[in-house]
């Protein structure tokens, strides 16, 4: 097939729209792309992002040019580092003639943890996300981290003669913060608020340790969410936050939930 | 085992908390329960709800009483009709001594559709949700409906000598509205904005009809979201809305997306 | 548009295929449809099925007629009861001129449970599935039930001075059985093998009871899967089975798993 | 806390079991771990695996030692390359005193594709999996690849005066093959059987090309599954296979499906 030069094909998206409705956000979602994230221990960590890239569309344009979002990602060659997030949004604004550009990037992130007694190392995964938006005069940035923890029920412990129900809970925190706050610092702050934190690898002395530690630190979802709030309040690099805790209750099929924001 | 009367066991949740942090929302999530919804054609439709039931918790209480949320659902006997949603929230506020109670109820809803030419009937499923919150002086209510549609790309049609790529898109609309607005009316308004609406059952004359109709009504996600906005603007019983359209592009693995709110 | 009678449009699917490849299974998946299931306590339970309906296709046919699968469902009017499953498959075989017809129907099912001490009733959901296939001379049928349970770790209990980690586990059992075996019987057999079974509604005396019962009945995934196997071996109406248990470990982010079949 | 030497804590799992039930598979699931895969273009590709690692358990052992599965992964330091899969299984067999060891590893894999006309490069993701099992005398290995494609309906094209419905379909192929077969070769074989393959980045001349190509190559799910079967039959390095195609029909909410195995 003879190659058709782009300029000879009509630009439908660039046409005029007379419905007089501006579109808040338009673009691509669920774009999967390799990326790199700053890693406190190793310098850089390779991971895989799930990207939403969006811009606003003024009322007089019929459509946006979807392929340009992918081109901008492609300019970063096989990998996309978060240090270039502001540059990415600036490029999107320029290429798409938009006032505001938005990025949401979800990615798994691994941190090495050492078992509490045996000190054996292993890798623990945390689901993270970056959210950013940029206009001509502003840049907003927030981080979301999901931290699985152990919670042990204070009521169950108090009323029972032996044992106490406990379970996996998930703390999801979204913070607006200074750029020098490490993902690792957010994770550590959250894990310190649990009945006990989780480890991929636990030998028997470790299992004894985490069992007893959880039993000695019973926490409702209400307790965890408040402790995380207090920890975040003590951190001056965190400007505002939302925290939710959801317990996969071991005695129910439904979940217990608590949410705080500041 | 001898039965222990409730009153002899300590009430940990009811204890005092001195961390001085009020909790915006606390309660149960992912509770599955049979329910009934008003159905324009049949009067009532049996379905299955996924419930989040939440209240606020003042700073001086250690915890909420999670079992009471389930008790309140249970008082509605095996089924929960939306007409009693305000009553449910009032009961939650009273039983949990809360200022504000929240409910989010997701459920599948079926509407009978007739094929466009053969008129053969079949059942089409729509994922829906009710959101409600109540204080001593206010009651807020909104409905979410997910409507799968066909979208056919205007650019692809214009630049190609034959054919045009099309795909399944999902319109998700969340509206604050008068209580007398039917789910069916929201669905119909949205489906009228698509390149073509979907049918579970299409015979060959129907398939010819929907193919040609979609080809004759090319729509970007930007077009669909704007048309839905216009349709909602014309409906006085809709007070405000958010609409998003996400196309499962047949030529990409990622999705095209547009979002408008008023 | 003038209505086109079906017979004037060509039947592409009915054409000849000369690639000489028979297709094991062809049809529709993820069809959502209201249905009814026999309920030991109530006679009938309304629920919502997710259907896969498939047939084999001989090598000489180009394609199957997808709309007929939906027509067959539609003949059952708004609801589909399992007692008519064999009839459904017979109709599919006839309408699609197939040797073998297959159905897989997934649905949520609710059973009323009474809390162990307070005896307060509530509804517990179990994800279930029917699998059936039919030829001219055979009819095969199996049931799958997912039962969430509590498991308490025997190792953690033994090595720790206080407490023991426990968590939600999921038992998934698939059994070939006599038609008079109730879903409820399979559920009860499985729940009796857990450290403790789950309840949607537990008051404080109930919570004390389930906590102590789980502590007194520690079970690995290996223990649960073996106990279920023994229970099924004792039931003459169960001809063969597969059982898997997956623990949402409260001390890890990964799951512990065991699988047995007979 | 003083560190407790492992040897002083009882080994519950290593105890005797007298229920006389051997367990087919026991171990860990949903373990997330960074890994590397051989890449035809780049030599090595970093990705993230979701691991199931399982062994059989003889009837006389009470349980397996779950932490050893993670230790074995950890011995591969932060990354796990598939070339060491046989070694991993051998280590699992030895450390867990098992007859058979099983691994299932799911991971996203990226291949650079060039747009058909503009030749602009971009990265396309494919969900892949390795399955392996090993005994003292055998090693079995298979690969699964999910390839999203465009399918255009032959019936819709034939009966309609203009246009034809098309959609995203997913081909899932699982093949037993020689170790020198590249993931890229399986993907290419499958993509050649579609109405058209997908691209993350398409400029207007490309979009014209893929639209017309799909229109010129209408394919039912039955056609795709047969064409893939023929392509695999021609490849001597493929010993056996299962192929399924599932169309996210643009005119229905349910999916069309076909399955073949050899």
- d(CA A200, nearest CA chain D) in Å: 7
Q: Which of B189, B166, B57, B52 is nearest to B107 (CA)?
A: B52
The string of pLDDT tens digits covering residues C207-258 is 999 999 999 999 999 999 999 999 999 999 999 999 999 999 999 999 999 9
pTM for the full predicted model: 0.95
Q: Using a CB–CB cutoff of 8 Å, tell me whether B29 touches chain C.
A: no
Instruction: Name residues of chain D where pLDDT drops below 50.
Output: 1-2, 4
- d(CA C245, nearest CA chain A) in Å: 15
Average pLDDT over residues B56-66: 93
Report the chain B residue with the minimal C-alpha distance to residue C212: B1
The string of pLDDT tens digits covering residues B36-45 is 898 999 888 9
Chains contacting chain B through 3 or more C-beta pairs under 8 A: A, C, D
DSSP H or E segment with residue C42: none
- Confidence check: pLDDT of C105 > 60: yes
CB contact under 8 A, D211 and B152: no
Average pLDDT score over chain C: 93
pLDDT at A79: 61
Q: Are C134 and C89 in contact (CB under 8 A)?
A: yes
Output D255 or C180, whichever has higher pLDDT: D255
CB contact under 8 A, A28 and B220: no
**Rounded CA separation D190/D170 (Å):** 10
> ipTM value of the model?
0.93
Residue A12 DSSP one-character state? S
Cα A169 to chain center, whole Å? 17
CB contact under 8 A, C19 and D259: no
Instruction: Name residues of chain A where pLDDT drops below 70.
Output: 1-7, 76-83
SS3 B165: coil
SS3 C221: helix
Report the chain D residue with the minimal C-alpha distance to residue B160: D208
Average pLDDT over residues B68-77: 86
DSSP secondary structure string, A62-120? S---HHHHHHHHHTTTT--BGGGHHHHHHHHHHHTT-S-EEEEEEEEEEEEEE-TTT--
Q: Which of C115, C262, C237 is nearest to C178 (CA)?
A: C237
**Rounded CA separation A32/A92 (Å):** 18
Q: Which of C154, C173, C174, C165 is nearest to C220 (CA)?
A: C154
**Option in A25, A154, A259 nearest B24 (CB):** A259
* Residue A123 β-bridge partners: A112
pLDDT at B180: 86
CB contact under 8 A, C167 and A163: no
The string of pLDDT tens digits covering residues D108-157 is 999 999 999 999 999 999 999 999 999 999 999 999 999 999 999 999 99
CB contact under 8 A, C168 and A249: yes
- Confidence check: pLDDT of B6 > 80: no
CB contact under 8 A, A163 and C152: yes
pLDDT at C74: 86
User: How many Cα atoms within 13 Å fall on the side-chain side of residue A62?
Assistant: 13
Report the chain C residue with the minimal C-alpha distance to residue B213: C1
DSSP H or E segment with residue A207: helix A204-216
DSSP H or E segment with residue D184: helix D183-191
The string of pLDDT tens digits covering residues B93-106 is 999 999 999 999 99
Report D:142-201 residues touching C (Cβ under 8 A). Answer: 154-155, 158-159
- Contacts of residue D207 in chain B, CB cutoff 8 Å? 153, 155-156, 159-160, 165, 251
The string of pLDDT tens digits covering residues A64-86 is 999 999 999 888 665 666 667 88
Instruction: Compute the C-alpha angle A210/A216/A217, nearest 5°.
Output: 90
Q: Are C134 and C90 in contact (CB under 8 A)?
A: yes
Share of chain B above pLDDT 90, in %: 84
Q: How many CB pairs under 8 A join B and D?
A: 136
> Residues D46, D50, D56, D57: what is their CA dihedral angle, to the nearest 10 degrees?
120
Helix axes B221-233, B183-191, angle to 10 degrees: 140
Q: Using a CB–CB cutoff of 8 Å, tell me whether D63 touches chain B.
A: no
Q: Are C174 and A228 in contact (CB under 8 A)?
A: no
N- to C-terminal Cα separation, chain B: 60
Average pLDDT score over chain B: 93
pLDDT at C179: 82
| Ramachandran sector of residue C194 (left: φ over 0; alpha: ψ -120 to 50; beta: rest) | beta
Output B2 or A204, whichever has higher pLDDT: A204
Q: Which of A169, B98, D152, A196 is nearest to C248 (CA)?
A: A169
Q: Which of C146, C145, C141, C139 is nearest to C180 (CA)?
A: C141
Q: Are strands C43-57 and C101-114 parallel, antiparallel or unpaired?
A: antiparallel
- d(CA C194, nearest CA chain A) in Å: 12
SS3 D63: coil
Chains contacting chain D through 3 or more C-beta pairs under 8 A: A, B, C
Instruction: Compute the C-alpha angle D207/D211/D212, nearest 5°.
Output: 120
The string of pLDDT tens digits covering residues C35-87 is 989 899 988 899 999 999 999 999 999 999 999 999 998 886 656 666 678 88
Q: Are B115 and B122 in contact (CB under 8 A)?
A: yes
CB contact under 8 A, C200 and A163: no
CB contact under 8 A, B3 and C117: yes
Q: What are phi and psi of A15, to 5 degrees?
A: -70, 175
Average pLDDT score over chain A: 93
- Confidence band, pLDDT 50/70/90 cuts, at residue C2: very low
Output C8 or B83, whichever has higher pLDDT: C8
CB contact under 8 A, B32 and C125: yes
């Amino acid at each position: 097939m003879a190659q058709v030069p782009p300029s000879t094909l009509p630009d439908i998206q660039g046409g005029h729209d007379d419905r007089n409705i501006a579109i808040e956000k338009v673009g691509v979602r669920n774009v999967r792309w390799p990326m790199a994230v700053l890693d406190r221990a190793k310098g850089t960590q390779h991971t895989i992002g799930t990207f939403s890239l969006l811009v606003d569309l003024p009322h007089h344009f019929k459509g946006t040019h979807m392929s340009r979002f992918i081109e901008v990602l492609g300019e970063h060659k096989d990998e996309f580092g978060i240090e270039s997030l502001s540059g990415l949004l600036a490029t999107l604004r320029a290429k798409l003639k938009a006032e505001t550009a938005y990025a949401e990037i979800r990615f798994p992130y691994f941190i090495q943890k050492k078992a509490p007694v045996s000190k054996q190392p292993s890798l623990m995964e945390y689901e993270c996300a970056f959210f950013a938006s940029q206009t001509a005069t502003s840049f907003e940035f927030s981080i979301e981290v999901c931290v699985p923890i152990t919670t042990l029920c204070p009521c169950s412990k108090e009323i029972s003669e032996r044992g106490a129900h406990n379970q996996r809970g998930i703390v999801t925190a979204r913070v607006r913060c200074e750029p020098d706050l490490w993902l690792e610092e957010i994770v550590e702050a959250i894990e310190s608020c649990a009945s006990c934190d989780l480890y991929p690898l636990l030998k028997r002395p470790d299992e004894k340790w985490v069992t007893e530690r959880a039993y000695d630190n019973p926490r409702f979802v209400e307790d965890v969410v408040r402790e995380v709030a207090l920890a975040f309040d003590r951190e001056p690099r965190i400007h505002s936050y939302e925290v939710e805790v959801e317990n996969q209750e071991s005695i129910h099929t439904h979940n217990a939930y608590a949410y705080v924001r500041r």
